Amino acid sequence: MSCLRRALRLGLRRELSSSSASAAAEQAELPPPRPSAGRRVVVTGLGAVTPLGRGVGPTWERLVAGGCAVRALAAEDLHLPGGADAGRTLEQLPSRVAAAVPRGKGDAEFDEEAWTMDNKSISGFTAYALCAADEALRDANWLPSEDEKKERTRLRRLSPYFIPKILINMASGHVSMRYGFQALDHAKERGAKIYAEVRGYGMSGDAHHITQPQNDGRGATLAMKRALDQSGLQADQIDYLNAHATSTPLGDAVEANAIKSVFGDHATSGGLALSSTKGIAPPTLNLEKPDPLFEGAFMPLSSPKKMPIRAAISNSFGFGGTNTSLLFSCPP
């Protein structure tokens, strides 16, 4: 559905506007989580390493301006070892279009040397995650040096070599092993700015096909419903949905039908803003001919929409039928 969606898979965290943005939003204040929800986790810092730039500021500015980072690859993008013929290698690639993270020493560029000097074995995407996490921690003003304070947010520390670096969850693994997570009571205790609360998380497994989702969208539907159930919110209390939407005709159609199944009239009436980028709510870039199943008010955003966002869902559906929905709400 969007080239920018694929460009932003590397770490951008969404910003949710406060419910005080309008009188209507104030009157429809969200209920607190259920007592059984367990420890409440909040977002107190933002960080980003994306093809639009390193840092939340540059990335956000280019995103809302409709910038697209997808471009033709150049030989220098390949970062081959000394002596290799990058030009010849580039010519042999079947596809030479990509969304590459800008690298260098500039303010909005990713300094690869600085983030791999201590551990040459980590993969590039893991280095991106560590860089984004560092920015988020500085934004959160949480850089403790005492072990006692570190233990407030850090999980049990493990060697980064404990699990092979090729696993796709190693980026989040490195970040959580180093920094842990921020609980609501700790954030309030230190007077941190709270951007959002993690209200719900849902997962499902299709057990259907290695690349194709079930035609009825059952896996996507389950993930979203489980996130809603854990959050204690109703479907019509969700203002924005960030779709997985990878521009595959089958996958996009299945997800769209799953969204209509979960949100019903709230989606088809236009009450649910929908796009496959992250943010304000921002537009879905390069979407010129929406699938015919989108009609009336049920349509991906084609331009930025300034609106109060009290709660939002972000979908991520992977090969093998692994589906995840993450639900954020405005600060408690």
Between residues 153 and 194, which one has the greater pLDDT?
Answer: 194
- Residues β-bridged to residue 323: 204, 317
Give CA–CA dist 313/324, Å, rounded.
10
In terms of domains, do 29 and 83 share one? no
Between residues 295 and 3, which one has the greater pLDDT?
Answer: 295
| Mean per-residue pLDDT, 223-229 | 94
| Mean per-residue pLDDT, 79-86 | 73
In terms of domains, do 266 and 307 share one? yes
| Tokens at 174, concatenated | 């490195």
pLDDT band of residue 281 (cuts 50, 70, 90) is: confident
Beta strands of 74-146 (E only): which ranges? Answer: 97-98
The answer to whether the beta carbons of residues 26 and 228 sit under 8 Å apart is no
pLDDT given for residue 36 in this prediction:
67
| Mean per-residue pLDDT, 250-262 | 89
Q: Residue 270 maps to which CATH number?
A: 3.40.47.10
Q: Which of 22-31, 79-88, 263-272 has the lowest mean pLDDT?
A: 22-31
pLDDT given for residue 287 in this prediction:
81
Range of the domain at 215: 14-44+194-329
pLDDT band of residue 22 (cuts 50, 70, 90) is: very low
pLDDT given for residue 154 in this prediction:
56
Between residues 37 and 64, which one has the greater pLDDT?
Answer: 64
State the chain's mean pLDDT as an integer.
79
The answer to whether the beta carbons of residues 49 and 124 sit under 8 Å apart is no
In terms of domains, do 178 and 234 share one? no
Residue 56 falls within a domain, yes or no? Answer: no
Between residues 156 and 116, which one has the greater pLDDT?
Answer: 116
Query: Per residue in 122-156, is it b (16+ CB within 10 Å) or e — as a string?
Result: bbbbbbbbbbbbbbbbebbebeeeeeeebebbbee
| Mean per-residue pLDDT, 298-318 | 86
Residue 263 falls within a domain, yes or no? Answer: yes
Number of independent structural domains in the chain? 2
pLDDT band of residue 292 (cuts 50, 70, 90) is: confident
pLDDT at 16 over 90: no
In terms of domains, do 182 and 204 share one? no
pLDDT at 193 over 90: yes
In terms of domains, do 112 and 223 share one? no
In this structure, the number of other CB atoms found within 10 A of the CB of residue 57 comes to 14
SS3 of the chain: helix, strand, coil, percent, to 5: 35, 15, 50
pLDDT band of residue 291 (cuts 50, 70, 90) is: confident
| Tokens at 214, concatenated | 């079930």
Last residue of a domain, one of 125, 156, 188: 188
Q: Is the dihedral of CA 4, 306, 137, 186 positive or negative?
A: negative
| Mean per-residue pLDDT, 260-277 | 87
pLDDT at 320 over 90: no
In terms of domains, do 175 and 292 share one? no
Q: Is the dihedral of CA 121, 135, 155, 35 positive or negative?
A: negative
CB-neighbour burial class of residue 209 (10 A; exposed 0-12, middle 13-18, buried 19+): exposed
pLDDT given for residue 158 in this prediction:
45
pLDDT band of residue 279 (cuts 50, 70, 90) is: very low
| Mean per-residue pLDDT, 178-192 | 83
